[in-house]
Amino acid sequence: MKKILYYFISIIFVILGSLIIAEIILQIIPVIYRNLPDINSDKQYIYIIGESSAVGEPYNPKISYYKIFNYMINGKINNKKIEFIELAEAGSFTYEQFYKYLIYKYTHPFKKGIIFIYCGKNDWTNEKNGDLPQYSKQSILCSLLGNRQGLQYDLEKIILLAKKFGDTVFISTIEGNYEGFMPNLGSDNDAYNKEFKETDNYILKGKYQKASELLDKLLLTTDANKSWIFYRIGKICKFTGKIKEANDNFIKSVSFHYDFRPTQCQNEIIKDLAKKYQLELVDIFGKLYNSGEIIGFNFYMDNQHPNLKTYMMIARLFVDMVSKKYNVNVNIKRYNSTEREIFENFYFKIHDEYRAYRHSLDVTLIYSKEKENSNIYVFDKVEEYLKQIDLLNPYDEKRKKIIKSFYNMMYEALKGNKEKVRQIFNDSGLINEDKRLIEARPCDWKKYNKWVSDYLGIQDFFDLSKRYI
């Protein structure tokens, strides 16, 4: 029995000793690394931290904000050629970006550089994390073993790790298409459907006073969904020319329940961290908010992915901030490029534009339907995208017809026209088409499948149509 106890104690000591040695090594490496001279004198490394908007959806892999940034400054900072270390990943969260950055730094020593942090859209929150334990007071091993604790905590981990390694941080505020979509419904609103439909009718007919009176009454109730109320108030402000008030209400409307569009709180967290750690702040949200325009589809392709105009704006903001700190030779002609010039210089062809529009149509349809927030305000944009993919479609006439029928069917499903869905399905012959006629999409096909199957009253539309998901 004593031998077993001795063995057990010995194992515990070996494990503890190993952890202590590992922690010492992990703490020493950044210190040594930070104080070493820059051996890669001919390269300027830039780490890209972020999610799908950072990688450039729906224009990736050809176009992203940092590739446009690179293009505008001729690919050099301090006469060093830029090399991007692309850690950003669509659908990721900030804590995942921290781990990717940490692992890369420890496995690729001597790559001192700059970090562009443009992330947090997937980490929706409407409250600060509170008195969480400071990362600077934790061991690195504890941080690795710890759980995700929120945007503020996860961003702070990235920032402090960057400081340990001596990397310079440029951090950006985040934004989304606040006006384009109804906010997510976080509570049962069936009791007030009649009032909301009546309000929508008044708004679309230009009877803003009557719409406002109805919304004022709804605000006094305790259980009506406030996000939907503020969204409609924003619409009234938009149509009556009150741009700032419209944006304020649209932004407020996404702050009640989980939504991919960032809240004011998220940007306050980012600004507070930038001030606390004296980081270079790239204020994209502020640029859009003070643009004198509604923050909607004029800046976005779907609910959160910027259009090319906005990606170019983001690139310029990073150029402006980086040029204040480093020796950068800004190419004025490229800096002032038109959207068409960017497409041409990045070899973005018609089939690439088609793919971008189709991706955006997919996201717009799914986002509108899956959250039970489909609404009349997104119909114009869906119709515009339907025309664009029909115009840009690079395939033969047979495939064009099938794709057009498919999306027209999904649009009618969004509008709730069951009979029209069934009619398109039957008349188009979709059930008899080969699965190769509609290429795989990056969106969630399972939700598409359930959606149209429910409308058609069948078990599995994609199986019936002989297409794979």
Task: Report d(CA 55, CA 409) in Å as an integer.
Answer: 31
Q: How far apart are the first and last CA of the chain?
A: 59
For residue 60, tell me if it sits in a domain: yes
Q: Are residues 380 and 408 in the same domain?
A: yes
Burial of 210 (0-12, 13-18, 19+ CB in 10 A): middle
Total structural domains within the chain: 3
For residue 433, tell me if it sits in a domain: yes
pLDDT of residue 368: 80
Contact status, residue 413 vs residue 405, Cβ threshold 8 Å: no
For residue 184, tell me if it sits in a domain: no
For residue 17, tell me if it sits in a domain: no
Contact status, residue 65 vs residue 50, Cβ threshold 8 Å: no
Q: Are residues 299 and 232 in the same domain?
A: no
pLDDT of residue 194: 86
Distant-in-sequence, close-in-space partners of 104: CB < 8 Å, separation ≥ 6: 47, 85, 87
Contact status, residue 222 vs residue 231, Cβ threshold 8 Å: no
pLDDT of residue 47: 98
Both structure tokens of 318: 């990073």
Q: Are residues 49 and 148 in the same domain?
A: yes
For residue 328, tell me if it sits in a domain: yes
List the domain range (segments joined by +) for residue 147: 36-177+264-345
Last residue of a domain, one of 223, 253, 283: 253
Task: Report d(CA 8, CA 28) in Å as an integer.
Answer: 30
Read off the CATH number of the domain in which 273 is found: 3.40.50.1110
Place of tokens 């305000």: 377
Contact status, residue 51 vs residue 89, Cβ threshold 8 Å: yes
Q: Are residues 153 and 294 in the same domain?
A: yes
Q: Are residues 341 and 371 in the same domain?
A: no
pLDDT of residue 405: 84
pLDDT of residue 442: 45
For residue 1, tell me if it sits in a domain: no
Task: Report d(CA 303, CA 411) in Å as an integer.
Answer: 17
Last residue of a domain, one of 294, 320, 345: 345
Task: Report d(CA 193, CA 188) in Å as an integer.
Answer: 10
Q: Are residues 329 and 222 in the same domain?
A: no
Residues of the chain short of pLDDT 70, as ranges, are 1-40, 129-149, 185-189, 370-374, 429-469
Q: Are residues 40 and 87 in the same domain?
A: yes
pLDDT of residue 306: 97
For residue 458, tell me if it sits in a domain: yes
pLDDT of residue 71: 98
Q: Are residues 144 and 283 in the same domain?
A: yes
Q: Are residues 341 and 449 in the same domain?
A: no
Both structure tokens of 31: 């210190």
Q: Are residues 195 and 210 in the same domain?
A: yes
CA-to-CA dists, residue 422 to 405, 418, 444, angstroms: 11, 6, 22
Q: Are residues 48 and 145 in the same domain?
A: yes
pLDDT of residue 391: 94
pLDDT of residue 380: 93
Last residue of a domain, one of 219, 253, 287: 253
The pTM (predicted TM-score) of the whole model is: 0.86
pLDDT of residue 289: 97
The SS3 assignment for 181 reads: coil
For residue 402, tell me if it sits in a domain: yes
Q: Are residues 249 and 273 in the same domain?
A: no
In one-letter notation, the amino acid at residue 60 is N
Contact status, residue 120 vs residue 151, Cβ threshold 8 Å: yes
**H-helix or E-strand spanning residue 288:** helix 284-289
Read off the CATH number of the domain in which 221 is found: 1.25.40
Both structure tokens of 428: 């188009």
